[in-house]
Amino acid sequence: MDNSKLRNFCIIAHIDHGKSTLADRLLEATGAISSRDMKEQFLDKMELERERGITIKAKAVRLNYHSKDGQDYVFNLIDTPGHVDFTYEVSKSLFACEGALLIVDASQGVEAQTIANFHLAKDAGLRVIPVINKIDLQGAEPEKVLLQLEELGLNSDEAILASAKEGIGTDLILEAIVKLVPPPRGHADKPLKALIFDSLYDVYKGVVVFFRIFDGSINSGVKALMMRANSTFEVTEVGVFTPTMKQIEKLSTGEVGYFIANIKNVSDIKVGDTITDALNPIKNPLPGYKEIKSMVFCGFYPINPNEYNLLKDALEKLKLNDSSLMFEPESSRALGFGFRCGFLGLLHMEIIQERLEREYNINMIATSPNVRYKVITNAGKEVEIDNPANLPPAGEIKEVMEPYIMMSIITPPEFMSNIMDLCKSKRGEYVENQFVTTSRVQIHYEMPMSEVVFDFFDILKSVSKGYASMDYEYIDFREADLVKLDIMVATEIVDALSIIVHRDKAYYKGKELALRLKEIIPRQMFEVAIQAAIGSKIIARESIAALRKNVIAKCYGGDITRKRKLLEKQKEGKKRMKQIGRVEIPQEAFLAVLKIQ
């Protein structure tokens, strides 16, 4: 394959600006999908992606394009997600590309992830082509957006006006890819050097590895060496995404594809690892990806203790497909054996939880999420705490520190004061304001991460009528007056319900939490007390009255099948509850803290 006819690019943007819809048009125009088989956001195949209307996983597709210059080209397109929690998917994809289409919604203009993703692409050395999308909308203001792009340092002459929905601009985009995105460099005759940018576990095929070749070529029979994992596999199949996996004979320099080998141990494959030929290896691996830091942690516990190994297996397989998922075993007095998992955000956590339940059929409990704290003990030791239950007793603590982030919010000026009030109420410290354009202000605050990762985004949206967008990055740990809030159910502390909160908010949170739990925990056969405590001091108390009625008053011949189904449904409900002591606690109880503002 001739390198000069190859173009590798990704589509990046703020959430919902139309990446996947544009991908649809490119798939159609290049004949990858017939219009008969087309459905909206074709590449969003995962059930969760379709339900939520967002992209979660980056997806690669190979397209054949016959250009106006008379030549045939091969494109490798990667559609990426826009939500902050999945930024890692974007950064991973960038390394497989030479170019990026930066999509901007013509009615929304430049938003926080437009800027963040643009910088990521620029830093990765990608040629960025701006596309102003949704020009069909009533509220489209392409001229304003052009200005905003220029202020970002992009060449507005290159910007393409498009409507992915109506197919406007598709031809121009395809031609711009040919003209502006450089072909990959590298040499087919050098030893194999390829980067793993993703992988997945397929029930039929086993582990499938997605990679981009920088030098050399690969075909079945090659002994592939994973340089960092230091493991070797004989490749049994190589192929490309059309978008379905299609086996081909060989993949060469610059190309993007997958390989399958008899990989038993899923931990042998690490995203970011370098593949080389074991018989003719290169010396130094590619730099790979930056270690990612989990922002949010929670415990996952199987409701049925016998499913611990199932959960472990599922987490390992999911991690293949999502290297930003972290987990390690832990145990809880209340919940038994499970895993402490780290995520990039709350949506990420929610998605992983749902995938485990749907794709792996595991009934489990997710405990309330928290950030990672640092504790300096009186003995001078420094410990990192990612599970509130592990906070040492107050007497041993010299100082507790919590992570801070730099928050960047982009908003039309009229919402500035609302937003600043919000940041202040979340213990934010003002840094600066600057106008990005005349109609967009960027506000910076330093804030405790714990105040941000939960409901901040939802509130931000509501105080700005949906106009503001945000992005943040970790800065450092700072001392704070933090305490552990324990919850007792029927006089027993349920460790999985403990949270770490700022002392000023502890009283309020304790009260609210007890109240929520009272609503969530169903009535039991006896009265159940719910108490919130800091150390030995009870700060809130609620009680759930005993259940007195649960009966089918009428049951005759015609009712039996229906009534049995009703009972089966009640039983299903019970299966989703965890028995702690004598009390049955539903899954939602452990996430109740999220419902408190």
Ligand X SMILES: Nc1nc2c(ncn2[C@@H]2O[C@H](COP(=O)(O)OP(=O)(O)OP(=O)(O)O)[C@@H](O)[C@H]2O)c(=O)[nH]1
- The 3-class secondary structure across 431-482, one letter per residue, is EEEEEEECCEEEEEEEEEHHHCCCCHHHHHHHHCCCCCEEEEEEEEEEECCE
Rule CB under 6 A: is residue 41 a binding residue for ligand X? yes
d(CA 244, CA 32): 10
d(CA 407, CA 418): 15
153 binds, among ligand X, another protein, Mg ion, none (CB under 5 to 8 A by kind): none
484 binds, among ligand SAM, ligand X, Mg ion, none (CB under 5 to 8 A by kind): none
- Compare residues 15 and 315 and give the one whose CB is closer to ligand X: 15
d(CA 12, CA 131): 10
**Minimal distance in Å, beta carbon 204 to ligand SAM?**
51
Q: In the beta sheet, which residues pair with residue 239?
A: 247, 258
- Compare residues 71 and 579 and give the one whose CB is closer to another protein: 579
d(CA 496, CA 473): 28
Q: In Å, how far are 55, 174, 397, 492, 578 from 44, measured between CA atoms?
A: 6, 21, 48, 45, 34
- Compare residues 204 and 556 and give the one whose CB is closer to ligand SAM: 556
**Minimal distance in Å, beta carbon 135 to ligand X?**
7
d(CA 215, CA 187): 5
The correct pick among 55, 199, 231, 531 for binding Mg ion (CB under 5 A) is 55
d(CA 109, CA 126): 22
574 binds, among another protein, Mg ion, ligand SAM, none (CB under 5 to 8 A by kind): another protein
Rule CB under 5 A: is residue 17 a binding residue for Mg ion? no
d(CA 144, CA 123): 25
Site string for ligand X, 135-154 (x = CB under 6 A): -xx-----------------
Amino acid at 241: F
Stretch that binds ligand X, among 163-171, 190-198, 229-237, 493-501 (CB under 6 A): 163-171
Rule CB under 6 A: is residue 134 a binding residue for ligand X? yes
Stretch that binds Mg ion, among 51-59, 150-158, 285-293, 345-353 (CB under 5 A): 51-59
**Minimal distance in Å, beta carbon 473 to another protein?**
48
Which helix (H) or strand (E) segment holds residue 328: the answer is: strand 326-332
d(CA 201, CA 216): 26
Would you call 189 helix, strand, or coil by DSSP?
coil
20 binds, among Mg ion, ligand SAM, another protein, none (CB under 5 to 8 A by kind): Mg ion
Q: Under rule CB under 6 A, how many of the chain's residues touch ligand X?
A: 21
Rule CB under 5 A: is residue 133 a binding residue for Mg ion? no
**Minimal distance in Å, beta carbon 554 to ligand SAM?**
5
Site string for ligand SAM, 417-456 (x = CB under 6 A): ----------------------------------------
- Compare residues 394 and 545 and give the one whose CB is closer to another protein: 545
Rule CB under 6 A: is residue 411 a binding residue for ligand X? no
The correct pick among 133, 217, 294, 464 for binding ligand X (CB under 6 A) is 133
Handedness of CA 566, 571, 577, 581 (dihedral sign): positive
Instruction: Give Cβ neighbours of residue 26 (< 8 Å, ≥ 6 apart).
Output: 63, 75, 77, 170, 173, 174
| CB count in 10 Å sphere of residue 214 | 22
Q: In the beta sheet, which residues pair with residue 541?
A: 531
CB 346 within 8 A of CB 454: yes
Helical H segments across 322-434, by residue range: 346-359, 416-425
Rule CB under 6 A: is residue 549 a binding residue for ligand SAM? no
- Compare residues 21 and 367 and give the one whose CB is closer to ligand X: 21
Rule CB under 6 A: is residue 537 a binding residue for ligand SAM? no
Rule CB under 6 A: is residue 554 a binding residue for ligand SAM? yes
Which residues would be at the binding site for another protein (CB under 8 A)? 525, 545, 547-558, 560-561, 564, 567-568, 570-571, 574
d(CA 544, CA 530): 8
Rule CB under 6 A: is residue 15 a binding residue for ligand X? yes
**Minimal distance in Å, beta carbon 111 to ligand X?**
11
| Ordered DSSP codes for 248-303 | ESEEETT-EEEEEE----GGG--TTPEEEETTB--SS----PPPP---EEEEEEES
Site string for ligand X, 80-119 (x = CB under 6 A): -xx-------------------------------------
- Compare residues 34 and 550 and give the one whose CB is closer to another protein: 550
21 binds, among Mg ion, ligand X, ligand SAM, none (CB under 5 to 8 A by kind): ligand X
Q: Which residue is nearest to ligand X (CB)?
A: 82
Phi then psi for residue 416, to 5 deg, are -55, -45
Number of H helices, E strands in the chain: 12, 32
Given the rule CB under 6 A, which residues bind ligand SAM? 553-554
Residues at the contact surface with ligand X, assessed by CB under 6 A: 13, 15-21, 41, 53-55, 81-82, 133-134, 136-137, 163-165
Residues in contact with Mg ion by the rule CB under 5 A: 19-20, 55
